[in-house]
Chains A and B, each alone.
Chain A
Amino acid sequence: MNKHVSPKMNRRAFVVGTAAVGAGLAIGLDLPFGGPAMVRAADGSPEVNAWVVVKPDDTVVIRIARSEMGQGSLTGLAQLVAEELECDWSKVTTEYPTPGQSVARKRAWGDFSTGGSRGIRSSQDYVRKGGATARVMLIEAAANEWKVPASECTVAKGVITHKASGKTTTYGKVAEAAAKLTPPADVKLKDPKDWTIAGKGLLRLDTAEKTNGKMIYGIDVKLPGMLNAAIKDCPVFGGKLKSYDEAKITGMKGVKKVVKVGDTAVAVVADTWWHAKTALEALPIVWDEGENAKVSSESIAKWLAEGLDDAQPAYVGNKNGDVKAAIAGAAKKLEAVYNYPYQNHATMEPMNATALYTADKCEVWCGTQNGEAVFAAVLEASGLSAEKCDMYKVMPGGGFGRRGQTDYVRQAVLIAKEMPGTPVKLLWSREEDMAHGRYHPITQCKMTGAFDANNNLVALHYRLSGQSILFSLRPEALQNGMDPAAFQGVAQSGEAAIGYSVPNLLVEHAMRNPHVPPGFWRGVNVNHNAIYMECFMDELAHAAGQDPLEFRRKLMGNHPKHLAVLNAVAEKIGWDKPAPQGIYRGIAQVMGYGSYVAGAAEISVTEGNKIKVHRIVASTDPGYVVNPAQVERQIAGSFVYGLSALFYGGCTVKDGKIEQTNFDTFNSMRINEMPKVESVMVPSGGFWGGVGEPTIGVAAPAVLNAYFAATGKRIRSVPLRDQNITFA
């Protein structure tokens, strides 16, 4: 049963992909900051450098390489550039460079990938330098014109002033001259304490078109003569397309062509998508489902459960002391087994891409979290060289990690290749999207805690069994077979380090990779690890007869940043005071994506199984906060995503296929089920953590721990739907 979908590693794509990544690692601070060869934007305005174009009317165009998908980093990154540039925020607009342009300019804009809550934290340094460098050049251009030392010139809101002579000019007037200058070798960045644009809760730059229907998402792309495609891929992962009876749909309205896509899928191309989908549903298809058709949720659960046995091999991710000896000699021990299911991203906009192929050019329009990965997929699927390919990013209707993958792009190009010269938009139905996700990995975890005679926790054995994402998606990142990301939130050190000191600790992972393809799903491995660790901490506290907060605090003396956010939520929710009548509290903390986060929930339970969440408090220390209004929204949104997964999510497998087909079987929280999230930001500075994901980790354990407080029952299995527990 150890079947998995091997990543197809086309040599061309691999070379492009790694070359691109290698350059990214190498460039670091050596990103080109302009000159001496001048580059002009499409409208002729001079580029001061790759990040900044100033138009004669003083409009500043800030280039953004990372993808906006709702998380707000387009605005945040623009704030960081504008802060250093000292331009007028009201005159700022943004644009995306294309991956093709970037590759042609030796990757001038660095890494395009937007995942792992990296949008801001991984590019803040060089985009700020881009802004600062442009400022220095613009001032120098003015000083040169006035024949005064640049050091005597000041700038505010894009207006340069030489106080002694009383001269002033604007960025728009000197941009042409500035673009010809040699950029300074080094620039000093502002202390965040002095920020006036960054650090403020400014309104997003991309809202208006989201309120009037004008924002173009991938599904909305229109090209002259464009046709539309609907697709069905073999519902059993790893299965193949055997045959289809095209004659049965010949003559159906609007149908133009039926296309076999790779070895596994068939698409119908028609004038409209509705016609394409209608014909596809009428098309008789025979699948060669293969061995994986024997796999079910039950068989996967049994296989994972076997991995919890210490006799089975496992990778050690975090270890100190001698856990086995300490447990054997303990005064008291506690054991519990938890599990977490597959989850579909279920972005509101199903996967789609529009492709136009000719013998000497291939172009793709789509929403993506990784423009360069799409670019590599276009090269691979088209068979054309880099200079003949490009992709254009449009707004994605949600990403959550799903749009970091490019399976749907490859399909679109393969279909378009069958119709050279005709643009084809491929759109997945919701049902196809549910059947062909890149699912949150499935895991189980057995935890054993041991106490001495004084109820001190002396040992903790944390044994994971289940799927590795990197094994499927980035095998080159495995370390002697071990998936280091599997230990997110319970790692010894780094950006997802455990917040507890236990004298004897063993964290290990028995890797078992079922055939269902895993993916990076908002929060990724932090989601289940935080549930396992934080719910078990609650169990241990209860077993020790101690308050869950006090029990944790005793283990967190060496983890002041973890403790600070935990204390912040405890204070805000009023942990030291009794909860209102009928209300019960739960608390949790974790570290992920470089940020320290904690959450607390107040709930009531009626009829034993109906939960109402009354209050949520969440705190984060991401080092720096670039836009507090957007951070607040990301925190609240992460709770909606995390609690939807807890209550309603979960994908099950039958006959090798995913059983859930749409939002009727894979539900999502509505407004009536979601309380206000009270966020507490405690940025302590000195490091840059992520924001989009970390807090999702504490959503589920805070509620599960509150459920125990209310009912005395431990829930160790997600989703609650399958435990007959729902929202009140």
Chain B
Amino acid sequence: MANLTINGKTFTLDVEPDTPLLWAIRENVGLTGTKYGCGIAQCGACTVHMDGVAMRSCGVSVSEAEGKKITTIEGLASGDTLHKVQAAWIAKDVPQCGYCQSGMIMAVAALLAEKPKPTDADIDEAITNICRCGTFQQVREAIHTIASA
């Protein structure tokens, strides 16, 4: 059993303590916006926030996540008000297939929370998610648009 706080709600889940947070979120809580890409914390498709820090949820066990405040892509907006990263992603038409974008958006949201006006070097260092469609150009432009707003 594990008690997880996700998007402001508490869930008591019947899972083994070593279950990756990713699969607990997807299969036990039922929030499928967080994606599986590699399972070895390489690609970033499963990025969520744990106490505000971007984490690759495939590499975090539910036991490590207990007691932490977890936010997934579904919990990023405030009610009907989109998070500024989501709004910029729509305005700049960032996603292609979109599969990596939940993780990309979560990583960018965490970066901007820490550094509201990131330089290109900051972006290069913080955003290490894989996107096979190759949306990097739009990702960078959208970040700068948010930063200069």
The chain A residues found within 8 Å of chain B, CB to CB, are: 69-72, 203-204, 206-217, 219-220, 222, 228, 253, 272-274, 346-350, 395-400, 427, 429-430, 629, 633, 636-641, 644, 662-664, 668-672, 674, 676-677
Contact = CB atoms under 8 A, between A and B. Distances in A.
Interface string B94-132: 111111111001000000000000000001110111111
A219 B32 contact: yes
A321 B11 CA distance: 76
B56 to A, nearest CB: 12
A211 B101 contact: yes
B2 interface: no
Which of A274, A346, A430, A639 has most chain B Cβ within 10 Å?
A274
B40 A398 contact: no
The B contact surface, by secondary structure, is loop
B139 interface: yes
B33 A212 contact: yes
B137 A636 contact: yes
27 contacts: A70-B96, A70-B133, A72-B96, A210-B89, A211-B86, A212-B86, A213-B31, A213-B32, A213-B102, A272-B23, A274-B23, A348-B43, A430-B37, A629-B93, A633-B93, A633-B96, A637-B134, A662-B42, A663-B42, A664-B40, A668-B43, A669-B134, A670-B128, A670-B136, A671-B128, A676-B137, A677-B137
B70 interface: no
Contacts of B101: 210-211
B47 interface: no
Nearest to A345: B132
B125 A672 contact: yes
A633 B33 contact: no
A348 B137 contact: no
Contact of B132 (A211, A228, A400): A400
A203 B93 contact: yes
A211 B23 contact: no
A203 B87 CA distance: 13
A637 B89 contact: no
B64 interface: no
Given A272-B27, A347-B97, A639-B134, 4 more contacts: A211-B82, A219-B36, A349-B35, A641-B134
A209 B98 CA distance: 9
B38 interface: yes
Contact of B40 (A348, A427, A663): A663
A433 B84 CA distance: 35
Contacts of A219: 32, 35-36
Q: Which 8 A-B pairs have CB atoms at the shortest separation, nearest pair first?
A: A213-B33, A640-B134, A397-B99, A70-B97, A210-B98, A637-B134, A672-B124, A70-B96
Interface of B: 16, 19-20, 23, 27-28, 30-40, 42-43, 45, 72-74, 76-77, 82, 86, 89-90, 93-102, 105, 123-125, 127-140
A207 B138 CA distance: 13
B32 A70 contact: no
Contacts of B43: 348, 663, 668
Nearest to A661: B40
A273 B23 contact: yes
A671 B37 contact: no
Contacts of A430: 37-40
B40 A633 contact: no
A204 B90 CA distance: 9
Contacts of B76: 212
Nearest to B28: A272
Nearest to B36: A219
A671 B124 contact: yes
A210 B100 CA distance: 9
Contacts of A663: 37-38, 40, 42-43, 130
A249 to B, nearest CB: 15
A671 B139 contact: yes
Contacts of A222: 30, 32
Contacts of A668: 43, 130, 132
A207 B94 CA distance: 8
Contacts of A228: 27
Contacts of A209: 98
A348 B134 contact: no
Nearest to A636: B137
A204 B91 CA distance: 10
A570 B124 CA distance: 29
A398 B99 contact: yes
B36 A670 contact: no
Contact of A348 (B74, B89, B99): B99
Given A207-B93, A210-B98, A633 B135 contact: yes
Given A204-B93, A212-B74, A638 B134 contact: yes
A208 to B, nearest CB: 6
A669 B136 CA distance: 10
B132 A347 contact: yes
A626 to B, nearest CB: 15
Contacts of B134: 636-641, 669, 674
A217 B36 CA distance: 11
B98 A671 contact: no
Nearest to B45: A348
A395 B73 contact: no
A219 B100 CA distance: 13
A669 B33 CA distance: 23
Given A272-B23, A349-B35, A640 B93 contact: no
Which of A663, A670, A671 has most chain B Cβ within 10 Å?
A671
B97 A398 contact: yes
A703 to B, nearest CB: 15
A635 B130 CA distance: 18
Contacts of B139: 671
Nearest to A427: B36
A211 B130 contact: no
A305 B43 CA distance: 36
A25 B60 CA distance: 52
Contacts of B135: 633, 637
Which of B43, B125, B140 has most chain A Cβ within 10 Å?
B43
Contacts of A220: 32
A71 B72 CA distance: 26
Contact of B27 (A273, A395, A669): A273
Nearest to B138: A633
A530 B86 CA distance: 38
A432 to B, nearest CB: 11
